[in-house]
Chain A
Amino acid sequence: MTSRAPNKTLHDRRLALHPQVALRPEPFGALAYHYGNRKLIFLKHPDVVRVVRSLDDHDTVSDTLHACDIDPLRWPAFDAALTSLIESEMLHERHQDPSG
Protein backbone atom coordinates (compact mmCIF):
# COMPACT_ATOMS: atom_id res chain seq x y z
CA MET A 1 0.00 0.00 0.00
CA THR A 2 1.36 3.37 -0.92
CA SER A 3 1.21 6.20 1.54
CA ARG A 4 -0.45 9.44 0.56
CA ALA A 5 -0.77 11.96 3.32
CA PRO A 6 2.80 11.89 4.66
CA ASN A 7 4.12 13.01 1.26
CA LYS A 8 2.00 16.10 1.27
CA THR A 9 3.96 19.23 1.88
CA LEU A 10 2.75 21.68 4.47
CA HIS A 11 1.38 23.95 1.74
CA ASP A 12 -0.87 21.23 0.35
CA ARG A 13 -2.37 20.37 3.66
CA ARG A 14 -5.94 21.14 4.63
CA LEU A 15 -5.76 22.44 8.16
CA ALA A 16 -8.17 23.78 10.73
CA LEU A 17 -8.02 25.12 14.23
CA HIS A 18 -8.70 22.40 16.80
CA PRO A 19 -12.15 22.89 18.35
CA GLN A 20 -10.63 22.97 21.86
CA VAL A 21 -8.35 25.89 20.98
CA ALA A 22 -9.17 29.50 21.89
CA LEU A 23 -7.43 32.54 20.40
CA ARG A 24 -7.14 35.72 22.45
CA PRO A 25 -6.14 38.88 20.58
CA GLU A 26 -3.11 40.69 22.02
CA PRO A 27 -1.10 43.72 20.84
CA PHE A 28 1.62 41.46 19.37
CA GLY A 29 -0.78 39.03 17.68
CA ALA A 30 -2.64 36.50 19.78
CA LEU A 31 -2.38 33.86 22.44
CA ALA A 32 -3.57 30.39 21.56
CA TYR A 33 -4.61 28.06 24.34
CA HIS A 34 -5.52 24.40 23.97
CA TYR A 35 -7.99 23.34 26.66
CA GLY A 36 -7.23 19.68 25.97
CA ASN A 37 -3.45 19.53 26.34
CA ARG A 38 -3.20 22.90 28.18
CA LYS A 39 -0.52 24.22 25.87
CA LEU A 40 -0.12 27.93 25.38
CA ILE A 41 1.41 29.32 22.18
CA PHE A 42 2.21 32.88 21.18
CA LEU A 43 1.17 33.90 17.68
CA LYS A 44 3.73 36.60 17.26
CA HIS A 45 2.27 38.62 14.40
CA PRO A 46 -1.25 39.80 13.53
CA ASP A 47 -0.81 38.32 10.05
CA VAL A 48 -0.22 34.88 11.53
CA VAL A 49 -3.48 35.26 13.44
CA ARG A 50 -5.25 36.27 10.24
CA VAL A 51 -3.90 33.23 8.40
CA VAL A 52 -4.76 30.84 11.22
CA ARG A 53 -8.30 32.19 11.45
CA SER A 54 -8.89 31.82 7.71
CA LEU A 55 -7.44 28.33 7.21
CA ASP A 56 -10.92 26.90 7.40
CA ASP A 57 -12.21 29.12 4.60
CA HIS A 58 -9.72 27.88 2.04
CA ASP A 59 -8.81 24.56 0.57
CA THR A 60 -5.11 24.38 1.41
CA VAL A 61 -2.47 26.25 3.38
CA SER A 62 -1.08 27.63 0.17
CA ASP A 63 -4.52 28.91 -0.88
CA THR A 64 -4.89 30.56 2.51
CA LEU A 65 -1.52 32.31 2.28
CA HIS A 66 -2.43 33.62 -1.16
CA ALA A 67 -5.88 34.70 -0.08
CA CYS A 68 -4.42 36.56 2.90
CA ASP A 69 -2.02 38.30 0.56
CA ILE A 70 1.12 37.12 2.33
CA ASP A 71 4.29 37.92 0.39
CA PRO A 72 5.95 34.59 -0.59
CA LEU A 73 9.21 35.95 0.85
CA ARG A 74 7.58 35.73 4.26
CA TRP A 75 6.25 32.20 3.78
CA PRO A 76 9.12 30.47 5.63
CA ALA A 77 8.22 32.38 8.80
CA PHE A 78 4.60 31.30 8.40
CA ASP A 79 5.71 27.70 7.79
CA ALA A 80 7.55 27.77 11.10
CA ALA A 81 4.59 29.23 12.97
CA LEU A 82 2.14 26.76 11.45
CA THR A 83 4.47 23.83 12.12
CA SER A 84 4.70 24.71 15.78
CA LEU A 85 0.90 24.95 15.91
CA ILE A 86 0.62 21.51 14.30
CA GLU A 87 3.15 20.03 16.72
CA SER A 88 1.22 21.36 19.70
CA GLU A 89 -2.02 19.97 18.18
CA MET A 90 -3.53 23.45 17.93
CA LEU A 91 -4.03 22.83 14.19
CA HIS A 92 -5.23 19.54 12.86
CA GLU A 93 -6.08 17.96 9.55
CA ARG A 94 -9.53 18.81 8.29
CA HIS A 95 -11.60 15.79 7.34
CA GLN A 96 -11.63 15.14 3.62
CA ASP A 97 -14.60 16.55 1.84
CA PRO A 98 -16.43 13.42 0.54
CA SER A 99 -17.20 15.05 -2.82
CA GLY A 100 -13.62 16.23 -3.28
Chain B
Amino acid sequence: MNHPSLLGRESFVELGARARAHALLDAGTVRELAGPFDGLVSPWLARQGVVPQADDGVIVAKGRIDGHGAVVLAIEGAFQGGSLGEVGGAKIAGALELAAQDNRRGVPTRAVILFETGGVRLQEANLGLAAIAEIHAGIVDLRRYQAVVGVIAGQVGCFGGMSIAAGLCSYLVVTREARLGLNGPAVIEQEAGVAEYDSRDRPFIWSFTGGEQRIATGLADRYVEDDSAAIRATVRALLAAGPPATHRSERYAHYLARLRSYDPARQPEPQTVRDIYADGASS
Protein backbone atom coordinates (compact mmCIF):
# COMPACT_ATOMS: atom_id res chain seq x y z
CA MET B 1 0.00 0.00 0.00
CA ASN B 2 1.43 3.40 -0.96
CA HIS B 3 1.52 6.43 1.29
CA PRO B 4 -1.33 8.54 -0.14
CA SER B 5 -3.83 5.68 0.15
CA LEU B 6 -2.69 4.89 3.66
CA LEU B 7 -3.09 8.50 4.73
CA GLY B 8 -6.48 8.88 3.04
CA ARG B 9 -7.85 5.73 4.53
CA GLU B 10 -10.43 5.67 7.34
CA SER B 11 -10.34 2.44 9.31
CA PHE B 12 -13.76 0.78 9.50
CA VAL B 13 -12.69 -1.73 12.14
CA GLU B 14 -11.85 1.07 14.55
CA LEU B 15 -15.32 2.63 14.26
CA GLY B 16 -18.10 1.86 16.73
CA ALA B 17 -21.39 0.43 15.50
CA ARG B 18 -23.14 3.81 15.16
CA ALA B 19 -20.25 5.33 13.20
CA ARG B 20 -20.10 2.27 10.96
CA ALA B 21 -23.80 2.63 10.11
CA HIS B 22 -23.24 6.31 9.29
CA ALA B 23 -20.24 5.40 7.14
CA LEU B 24 -22.38 3.14 4.95
CA LEU B 25 -25.51 5.29 4.57
CA ASP B 26 -25.73 8.33 2.33
CA ALA B 27 -24.79 11.48 4.22
CA GLY B 28 -27.75 13.40 5.60
CA THR B 29 -30.22 10.54 5.25
CA VAL B 30 -29.59 8.67 8.51
CA ARG B 31 -32.23 8.22 11.21
CA GLU B 32 -31.66 5.94 14.17
CA LEU B 33 -34.73 3.89 15.14
CA ALA B 34 -35.48 2.35 18.52
CA GLY B 35 -32.54 4.39 19.76
CA PRO B 36 -31.06 5.17 23.17
CA PHE B 37 -33.91 7.56 24.10
CA ASP B 38 -36.74 5.13 23.42
CA GLY B 39 -36.49 3.38 26.78
CA LEU B 40 -35.71 -0.04 25.35
CA VAL B 41 -33.13 -1.47 27.73
CA SER B 42 -32.61 -5.10 28.53
CA PRO B 43 -35.06 -6.13 31.26
CA TRP B 44 -32.71 -8.95 32.26
CA LEU B 45 -29.17 -7.59 32.76
CA ALA B 46 -29.51 -5.33 35.81
CA ARG B 47 -30.89 -8.11 38.02
CA GLN B 48 -27.75 -10.12 37.19
CA GLY B 49 -25.41 -7.31 38.13
CA VAL B 50 -24.60 -6.27 34.56
CA VAL B 51 -24.99 -2.59 33.69
CA PRO B 52 -27.32 -2.35 30.68
CA GLN B 53 -26.76 0.01 27.77
CA ALA B 54 -29.46 2.31 26.38
CA ASP B 55 -29.18 0.89 22.86
CA ASP B 56 -28.60 -2.69 24.07
CA GLY B 57 -25.61 -2.86 21.74
CA VAL B 58 -27.55 -2.77 18.47
CA ILE B 59 -27.99 0.21 16.16
CA VAL B 60 -30.90 0.34 13.70
CA ALA B 61 -30.09 3.07 11.20
CA LYS B 62 -32.50 3.83 8.38
CA GLY B 63 -31.66 5.99 5.43
CA ARG B 64 -30.45 5.61 1.89
CA ILE B 65 -27.56 3.83 0.23
CA ASP B 66 -26.83 5.05 -3.26
CA GLY B 67 -30.22 6.77 -3.15
CA HIS B 68 -32.14 3.56 -2.36
CA GLY B 69 -34.04 3.00 0.88
CA ALA B 70 -31.96 0.92 3.25
CA VAL B 71 -31.62 -0.10 6.85
CA VAL B 72 -28.26 -0.86 8.45
CA LEU B 73 -28.25 -3.15 11.48
CA ALA B 74 -25.00 -2.71 13.34
CA ILE B 75 -23.93 -4.75 16.34
CA GLU B 76 -21.65 -3.04 18.87
CA GLY B 77 -18.88 -5.49 19.66
CA ALA B 78 -17.71 -3.38 22.59
CA PHE B 79 -20.90 -4.02 24.60
CA GLN B 80 -21.03 -7.50 26.12
CA GLY B 81 -18.99 -8.96 23.27
CA GLY B 82 -21.66 -8.04 20.75
CA SER B 83 -23.92 -10.64 22.32
CA LEU B 84 -27.58 -10.60 21.41
CA GLY B 85 -30.26 -10.46 24.05
CA GLU B 86 -33.98 -9.90 23.84
CA VAL B 87 -33.97 -6.20 22.95
CA GLY B 88 -31.00 -6.10 20.56
CA GLY B 89 -32.20 -9.28 18.87
CA ALA B 90 -35.72 -7.90 18.47
CA LYS B 91 -34.31 -4.70 16.95
CA ILE B 92 -32.58 -6.66 14.19
CA ALA B 93 -35.42 -9.14 13.63
CA GLY B 94 -38.09 -6.43 13.75
CA ALA B 95 -36.23 -4.23 11.24
CA LEU B 96 -35.78 -7.14 8.83
CA GLU B 97 -39.50 -7.94 9.14
CA LEU B 98 -40.41 -4.32 8.32
CA ALA B 99 -38.00 -4.26 5.37
CA ALA B 100 -39.61 -7.41 3.94
CA GLN B 101 -43.07 -5.93 4.50
CA ASP B 102 -41.95 -2.77 2.64
CA ASN B 103 -40.98 -4.91 -0.34
CA ARG B 104 -44.34 -6.66 -0.36
CA ARG B 105 -45.93 -3.21 -0.54
CA GLY B 106 -43.72 -2.13 -3.42
CA VAL B 107 -41.14 -0.20 -1.36
CA PRO B 108 -37.75 -1.77 -2.19
CA THR B 109 -36.05 -1.39 1.20
CA ARG B 110 -32.67 -3.16 1.50
CA ALA B 111 -30.74 -4.33 4.53
CA VAL B 112 -27.11 -4.56 5.60
CA ILE B 113 -26.08 -6.38 8.76
CA LEU B 114 -22.79 -5.52 10.46
CA PHE B 115 -21.84 -8.61 12.45
CA GLU B 116 -19.61 -8.14 15.47
CA THR B 117 -20.94 -10.75 17.79
CA GLY B 118 -20.32 -13.79 19.92
CA GLY B 119 -23.93 -14.90 19.38
CA VAL B 120 -26.49 -15.43 22.11
CA ARG B 121 -26.08 -13.29 25.24
CA LEU B 122 -25.94 -16.02 27.84
CA GLN B 123 -27.52 -13.83 30.53
CA GLU B 124 -30.65 -13.81 28.36
CA ALA B 125 -30.05 -17.28 26.95
CA ASN B 126 -33.33 -18.54 25.54
CA LEU B 127 -34.58 -15.08 24.59
CA GLY B 128 -31.38 -14.48 22.62
CA LEU B 129 -31.73 -17.85 20.91
CA ALA B 130 -35.37 -17.15 20.03
CA ALA B 131 -34.49 -13.72 18.65
CA ILE B 132 -31.72 -15.20 16.53
CA ALA B 133 -34.20 -17.70 15.05
CA GLU B 134 -36.37 -14.70 14.14
CA ILE B 135 -33.37 -12.95 12.58
CA HIS B 136 -32.82 -16.07 10.45
CA ALA B 137 -36.49 -15.99 9.45
CA GLY B 138 -36.23 -12.29 8.62
CA ILE B 139 -33.17 -12.70 6.39
CA VAL B 140 -34.70 -15.62 4.46
CA ASP B 141 -37.90 -13.63 3.95
CA LEU B 142 -36.19 -10.40 2.85
CA ARG B 143 -33.66 -12.04 0.53
CA ARG B 144 -36.55 -13.14 -1.68
CA TYR B 145 -36.83 -9.48 -2.71
CA GLN B 146 -33.46 -7.84 -2.08
CA ALA B 147 -29.89 -8.80 -1.49
CA VAL B 148 -29.18 -8.96 2.24
CA VAL B 149 -25.52 -8.03 2.69
CA GLY B 150 -23.56 -9.10 5.75
CA VAL B 151 -20.27 -7.51 6.75
CA ILE B 152 -17.80 -9.01 9.21
CA ALA B 153 -15.13 -6.39 9.74
CA GLY B 154 -13.59 -7.48 13.05
CA GLN B 155 -12.30 -7.61 15.61
CA VAL B 156 -14.89 -9.53 17.57
CA GLY B 157 -15.84 -11.63 14.56
CA CYS B 158 -19.08 -13.50 14.09
CA PHE B 159 -19.96 -16.59 16.12
CA GLY B 160 -22.81 -18.63 17.52
CA GLY B 161 -26.28 -18.38 16.09
CA MET B 162 -25.29 -15.19 14.30
CA SER B 163 -22.74 -17.11 12.22
CA ILE B 164 -25.75 -19.02 10.90
CA ALA B 165 -27.35 -15.64 10.14
CA ALA B 166 -24.19 -14.71 8.23
CA GLY B 167 -24.52 -17.98 6.31
CA LEU B 168 -28.05 -16.98 5.28
CA CYS B 169 -27.05 -13.61 3.86
CA SER B 170 -27.04 -13.11 0.10
CA TYR B 171 -23.46 -11.88 0.23
CA LEU B 172 -20.83 -11.80 2.92
CA VAL B 173 -18.04 -9.22 3.05
CA VAL B 174 -14.99 -9.92 5.21
CA THR B 175 -11.72 -8.22 6.07
CA ARG B 176 -8.44 -9.67 7.23
CA GLU B 177 -9.54 -8.91 10.81
CA ALA B 178 -12.74 -10.97 10.44
CA ARG B 179 -13.33 -14.36 11.95
CA LEU B 180 -16.37 -16.48 11.18
CA GLY B 181 -17.26 -19.70 12.97
CA LEU B 182 -20.15 -21.41 14.71
CA ASN B 183 -18.51 -22.09 18.03
CA GLY B 184 -16.19 -19.72 19.82
CA PRO B 185 -12.69 -21.13 20.38
CA ALA B 186 -13.05 -21.17 24.18
CA VAL B 187 -16.29 -23.12 23.93
CA ILE B 188 -14.82 -25.73 21.60
CA GLU B 189 -11.84 -26.16 23.89
CA GLN B 190 -14.21 -26.48 26.87
CA GLU B 191 -16.33 -29.12 25.11
CA ALA B 192 -13.71 -31.02 23.12
CA GLY B 193 -10.37 -30.44 24.80
CA VAL B 194 -7.23 -28.48 24.02
CA ALA B 195 -5.89 -31.08 21.60
CA GLU B 196 -8.97 -30.61 19.44
CA TYR B 197 -8.93 -26.81 19.56
CA ASP B 198 -6.40 -24.65 21.37
CA SER B 199 -8.21 -21.38 22.02
CA ARG B 200 -4.94 -19.58 22.88
CA ASP B 201 -3.27 -20.48 19.59
CA ARG B 202 -4.31 -17.43 17.61
CA PRO B 203 -2.56 -18.28 14.31
CA PHE B 204 -4.27 -21.68 14.40
CA ILE B 205 -7.72 -20.12 15.00
CA TRP B 206 -7.16 -17.55 12.26
CA SER B 207 -5.91 -20.11 9.77
CA PHE B 208 -9.29 -21.89 9.88
CA THR B 209 -11.81 -19.15 10.61
CA GLY B 210 -10.14 -15.92 9.50
CA GLY B 211 -11.43 -13.76 6.65
CA GLU B 212 -8.60 -14.78 4.34
CA GLN B 213 -9.41 -18.48 4.73
CA ARG B 214 -13.17 -17.95 4.45
CA ILE B 215 -12.77 -16.07 1.16
CA ALA B 216 -10.30 -18.65 -0.17
CA THR B 217 -12.78 -21.43 0.56
CA GLY B 218 -15.81 -19.70 -0.92
CA LEU B 219 -17.57 -19.22 2.43
CA ALA B 220 -17.49 -15.45 1.93
CA ASP B 221 -17.97 -13.35 -1.20
CA ARG B 222 -15.79 -10.25 -0.96
CA TYR B 223 -12.47 -9.62 0.78
CA VAL B 224 -11.82 -5.96 1.45
CA GLU B 225 -9.23 -3.77 3.07
CA ASP B 226 -10.04 -2.18 6.41
CA ASP B 227 -11.13 1.02 4.68
CA SER B 228 -14.54 2.64 5.13
CA ALA B 229 -14.68 3.85 1.53
CA ALA B 230 -13.80 0.41 0.15
CA ILE B 231 -16.38 -1.32 2.33
CA ARG B 232 -19.01 1.24 1.40
CA ALA B 233 -18.30 0.76 -2.31
CA THR B 234 -18.41 -3.03 -1.96
CA VAL B 235 -21.70 -2.98 -0.06
CA ARG B 236 -23.23 -0.63 -2.64
CA ALA B 237 -22.20 -2.86 -5.52
CA LEU B 238 -23.58 -6.00 -3.86
CA LEU B 239 -26.90 -4.33 -3.03
CA ALA B 240 -27.13 -3.13 -6.62
CA ALA B 241 -26.45 -6.64 -7.94
CA GLY B 242 -29.59 -7.95 -6.22
CA PRO B 243 -30.00 -11.39 -4.71
CA PRO B 244 -28.11 -14.26 -6.39
CA ALA B 245 -30.07 -16.90 -8.31
CA THR B 246 -29.01 -19.44 -5.71
CA HIS B 247 -28.01 -18.54 -2.18
CA ARG B 248 -25.01 -20.28 -0.62
CA SER B 249 -27.29 -21.76 2.04
CA GLU B 250 -29.26 -23.58 -0.70
CA ARG B 251 -26.23 -25.39 -2.11
CA TYR B 252 -26.58 -28.61 -0.13
CA ALA B 253 -25.90 -30.81 -3.17
CA HIS B 254 -22.66 -28.98 -3.91
CA TYR B 255 -21.38 -29.14 -0.35
CA LEU B 256 -22.43 -32.75 0.30
CA ALA B 257 -20.65 -33.76 -2.92
CA ARG B 258 -17.51 -31.86 -1.94
CA LEU B 259 -17.46 -33.28 1.56
CA ARG B 260 -17.45 -36.82 0.20
CA SER B 261 -13.82 -36.30 -0.78
CA TYR B 262 -12.78 -35.53 2.80
CA ASP B 263 -11.84 -38.36 5.16
CA PRO B 264 -12.75 -37.24 8.69
CA ALA B 265 -10.38 -39.82 10.17
CA ARG B 266 -7.72 -37.12 9.78
CA GLN B 267 -7.89 -33.59 11.11
CA PRO B 268 -7.85 -31.12 8.22
CA GLU B 269 -5.23 -28.48 7.55
CA PRO B 270 -6.41 -25.11 6.25
CA GLN B 271 -5.11 -26.20 2.82
CA THR B 272 -7.28 -29.34 2.96
CA VAL B 273 -10.36 -27.15 3.09
CA ARG B 274 -9.08 -24.91 0.30
CA ASP B 275 -8.51 -27.95 -1.91
CA ILE B 276 -11.89 -29.52 -1.23
CA TYR B 277 -13.88 -26.30 -1.54
CA ALA B 278 -11.67 -25.03 -4.37
CA ASP B 279 -14.37 -23.89 -6.78
CA GLY B 280 -16.91 -23.35 -4.05
CA ALA B 281 -17.10 -19.59 -4.47
CA SER B 282 -20.62 -18.65 -5.43
CA SER B 283 -19.73 -15.38 -7.08
Binding partners A and B:
no
